[in-house]
Amino acid sequence: MMRSPPPPQSQSNSNYGSPYGGQAGGAGGGSFAPAFGGFMNDPTAQMGYQVGKTAFNAGQELVEQNINRYVSIPALKHYFNVSTPYVLRKLLLVLFPWRHKPWSREQRPSSSSSPDASTYNYYFLPPRDDINSPDMYIPVMAFVTYILLSTLLAGLRGAFHPEVMGLTATTAFVVVLLEILGLKFGTYILSISNDSQLLDLVAYSGYKFVGVIVTLTLSEILNRGAGTGGWAGWTIFTYTFSANAFFLLRSLKYVLLPDSSASHPSAMGSGIQNTIARSQRNRRTQFLFIYSYIVQFVFMWILSRQDANPAQIKAPAAGVGKAVGA
């Protein structure tokens, strides 16, 4: 029985030990070149890599320390602990706060508290578990949306220029900064000491952008590009301003007018009764009213100002010019 001859054996053993089982490299070479030309095996390169890695880790640690000096990262995560149902319910609460009850934030004893102890440590529930808890997700998203929406509306009116986005962002940031400084100054003057953090005030100051976005959108649709003026624009602005003011008036009550009743969990656990004089409480109530209504009116009016379409302004001007020339 005839069989085919065996394949010719290679006279060279240069492929012996090759992991790929074939010819390695091109003509005249049977060995692999080291990775990156042997650069990573160079002791000097390894030393430089270690130095760079150490410098990077040191810089990252320095940045985290500086950030934690002003803002607590774990506390910041608490404000972004939201869910989709919470966001939808919170937006409805900001726009329609009239019949909502109760407004107090929910608290739970920490795991370190002992039932037999005379002092209990309470913590506020995250936003996903308490609709009355302030969050940072909605204010941040509303802040960015406001800037993009204002730029888009300016482009639709033919009034867009490269500085629009920067000016809008600067105006919004200055408004938020002035509002926070005013709140901190007011709490200092009124001697209000509580567990509220600066991020609480930042969150509450950002909810106004929800009403401003609704005002800009509906006014643009109803006024057909004529800005936020006219009866339609002022009607929408009046409602969104009133809803935001009522929402802040109820929500900030625990900050400016802390509950000192015996039914409050922290008051019962600690056994501390914070008595506030009637005159002091009246001043705090007046400050809360001024902030929720007067200050919010000014800031929301600044943020919701939109110029009319330039074409609509030039048309009447041209008609007046022709009449004068005639």
- H-assigned helices in 120-207: 137-156, 164-189, 198-206
Residue 103 structure tokens: 């407004």
Q: Which portions of the chain are predicted below pLDDT 70?
A: 1-42, 45, 63-71, 111-122, 193-197, 225-227, 255-256, 258-276, 306-326
Cα–Cα distances (Å) from 284 to 38, 121, 206, 290, 303, in that order, read 73, 27, 22, 10, 27
CA distance 234 to 226: 12
Query: Is 0.75 surpassed by the pTM of this model?
Result: no
Give the pLDDT score at 141. 96
Please say whether the beta carbons of 211 and 201 come within 8 A.
no
Number of H helices, E strands in the chain: 13, 2
- What is the DSSP secondary structure assignment for residue 290, as one 8-state letter? I
pLDDT tens for each residue of 96-117: 999 998 898 888 877 654 555 4
User: How far, in Å, CA of 118 to CA of 132, rounded?
Assistant: 28
Category of 307 on φ-ψ map: left (φ > 0), alpha (ψ -120 to 50) or beta = beta
- For the residues of 203-264, what is the DSSP string, one character each? HHHHTHHHHHHHHHHHHHHHHTSSTT-HHHHHHHHHHHHHHHHHHHHHHTHHHHS---STTS
Residues near 232 by beta carbon (within 8 Å), at least 6 away in sequence: 218, 219, 222, 223
